[in-house]
């Protein structure tokens, strides 16, 4: 739900084994409050340090604007949480599809990820359909 006051609020219901992939919100910080279950949550700060642990009922985490973060239900039952973002349009940019499925020159990807041409080609083949789906150019 997006409000006229510049806040977006979402309820997250995450079944066992579901992974919300690394992503950013370029226009918002995010606050998550766990209401049911346990969720493995992490983010990477601007010094490339990982902060990750399992969060339980009643716990809160805040992701600063634009930082890479993820959530993973590690399989201990369903999880519910509320996510509040301080923007009506926080946007959602997934990391892997953004890099591997957007048409970035493969030589750039090889250098960025220290991978050989064959590996990059295989990854690009996997992520192009995902990126097209996210952009809305592929319909189910």
Positions at the binding site for Mn(2+): 23, 25, 30, 69
Q: Which residues contact 45 (CB under 8 A, 6 or more apart)?
A: 51, 64, 67
Query: Is the dihedral angle over the CA atoms 76, 78, 82, 87 positive or is it negative?
Result: positive
Which positions make up the binding site for oxalate?
10, 25, 30
Quote the CA–CA distance of 125 and 112 in Å, as a whole number: 17
Contact indicator for 78, 34 with CB cutoff of 8 Å: no
Contact indicator for 56, 64 with CB cutoff of 8 Å: no
DSSP state of 58: T
Which positions make up the binding site?
10, 23, 25, 30, 69
């Amino acid at each position: 739900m997006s409000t006229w006051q510049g806040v977006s609020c979402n309820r997250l219901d995450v079944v066992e084994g579901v992974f919300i992939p690394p992503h950013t919100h370029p226009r918002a910080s995010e606050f998550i409050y766990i209401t049911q279950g346990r969720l493995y949550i992490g983010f990477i700060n601007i010094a490339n340090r990982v902060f990750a642990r399992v969060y339980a009922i009643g716990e809160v985490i805040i992701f600063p604007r634009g930082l890479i973060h993820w959530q993973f239900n590690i399989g201990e039952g369903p999880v519910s949480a509320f996510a509040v973002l301080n923007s009506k349009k926080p946007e959602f940019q997934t990391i892997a599809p953004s890099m591997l499925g957007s048409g970035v020159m493969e030589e750039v990807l090889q250098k960025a990820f220290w991978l050989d041409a064959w590996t990059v080609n295989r990854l690009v083949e996997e992520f192009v359909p995902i990126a097209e789906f996210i952009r809305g150019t592929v319909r189910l």
